[in-house]
């Protein structure tokens, strides 16, 4: 048990965050069996082009964890502390979303959304890596981070960009080959700096977590190269969302132990539903109509909430923040 801000705080054991990366060998096992035993039966007949084509995937991933992150603000003290986020920034985000997706639209708006989403997904994992390494962000870290992001961006350009390529097949295939080769170059350079970072790690867990992220990016690259782009989408999203849920649940549990001021968990407590059940369950229920929205207003609201999530997640978990007073990381 750690103590922050004078209150007892149950820490989040980062070994559990490392276990989430266990999805990586599972996906590689399925891929290997499909290539070696099933003669691509899985790829050709059962796997969709994108995981969002699976109903259950859309119910569980992306929007639910964003709603769960909003639960961390469901407290009078938090609302007062972060009032500018909701009274100033959120309206500006709504305006920006309308301009980007309704006025501009097209390929440009999709590219911006995809790039910002990719950065958010990977930056969370890289930030946790830095914390577990136990060192300040210096040049080796920044070079590893941005080279890895560059490699991943090129991979996802191949995955999503093929629908926007010039119709001429030879130009399209040339673009894909160039992007994959460039991604390999970025990844190779990132690997060099990862080795340097590993030698600087102050903890064994930090070193393992670093290599898990190196392998995650490399796996996305190789899965795309082998034709299993859907696995390359599933892998980082699965790790990102489950990691986020772990953080939210531990934070909210600690907050409830000290104040019991969150109306969502107060109601859940009356029903004898623990936080670790209420958080994902209620977030999935609330996210459902937003995930499957067809109304233009709801779609814009959903996009605005996503961009708002990207904004505040950039700073609310930093050391010294109000959120960090109710969570500690054991590493």
- pLDDT tens digits for 137-169? 999 999 999 999 999 999 999 898 776 654 444
- Cβ atoms of 38 and 48 closer than 8 Å: no
CB-based contact 100:109 (threshold 8 Å): yes
If you average pLDDT over residues 276-287, what whole number do you get?
97
Neighbours of 329 (CB within 10 A): 17
Asked if 187 and 148 count as a contact pair (C-beta separation under 8 A), the reply is yes
CB 187 within 8 A of CB 155: no
Which whole number is the average pLDDT over 170-182?
Answer: 78
**In the structure encoding, which two tokens stand for residue 172, read together?**
């399209």
Q: What is the C-alpha radius of gyration for the chain, rounded to an integer number of angstroms?
A: 21
Write out pLDDT tens, residues 67-110. Answer: 999 999 998 999 999 999 999 999 999 999 999 988 888 788 88
Report how far residue 199's alpha carbon sits from residue 197's, in angstroms, rounded to the nearest whole number.
Answer: 5
pLDDT over 80 at 241, yes or no: yes
Residue 75 phi, psi (nearest 5): -160, 135
Helix (H) / strand (E) element for 3: namely strand 2-4
Taking the CB of residue 272, how many other CB atoms lie within 10 A of it? 7
Q: What CA dihedral angle connects 241, 243, 244 and 250, to 10 degrees?
A: 140
Q: Is 70 exceeded by the pLDDT of residue 135?
A: yes
Distance CA 131, CA 22 (A): 20
Give, rounded to a whole angstrom, the gap between the first and last alpha carbons of the chain: 13
């Amino acid at each position: 048990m750690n103590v922050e801000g004078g209150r007892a705080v149950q820490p989040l054991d980062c070994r559990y965050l490392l276990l989430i990366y266990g999805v990586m060998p599972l996906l590689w096992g399925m891929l290997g069996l499909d290539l070696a035993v099933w003669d691509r039966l899985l790829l050709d007949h059962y796997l969709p082009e994108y995981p969002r084509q699976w109903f259950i995937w859309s119910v569980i991933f992306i929007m639910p964890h964003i709603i769960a992150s909003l639960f961390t603000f469901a407290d009078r003290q938090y609302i007062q502390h972060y009032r500018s986020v909701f009274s100033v920034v959120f309206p500006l985000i709504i305006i920006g979303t309308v301009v980007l997706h309704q006025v501009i639209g097209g390929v440009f708006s999709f590219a911006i959304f995809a790039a910002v989403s990719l950065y958010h997904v990977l930056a969370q994992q890289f930030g946790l890596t830095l914390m577990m390494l136990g060192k300040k962000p210096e040049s080796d870290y920044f070079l590893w981070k941005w080279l890895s992001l560059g490699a991943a961006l090129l991979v996802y350009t191949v995955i999503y960009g093929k629908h926007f390529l010039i119709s001429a097949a030879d130009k399209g295939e040339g673009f894909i080959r160039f992007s994959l080769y460039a991604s390999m170059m970025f990844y190779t350079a990132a690997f060099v700096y990862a080795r340097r970072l590993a030698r600087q790690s102050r903890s064994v867990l930090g070193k393992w977590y670093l290599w898990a992220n190196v392998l995650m990016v490399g796996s996305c690259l190789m899965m795309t190269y082998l034709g299993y782009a859907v696995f390359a989408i599933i892998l980082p999203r699965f790790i990102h969302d489950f990691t986020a849920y772990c953080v939210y649940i531990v934070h909210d549990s600690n907050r409830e132990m000290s104040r019991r001021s969150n109306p969502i968990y107060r109601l859940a407590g009356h029903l004898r539903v623990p936080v670790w059940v209420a958080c994902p369950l209620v977030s999935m229920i609330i996210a459902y109509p937003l995930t499957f929205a067809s109304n233009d207003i709801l779609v814009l609201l959903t996009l605005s909430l996503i961009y708002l999530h990207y904004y505040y997640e950039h700073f609310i978990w930093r050391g010294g923040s109000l959120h960090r007073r109710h969570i500690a990381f054991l590493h």
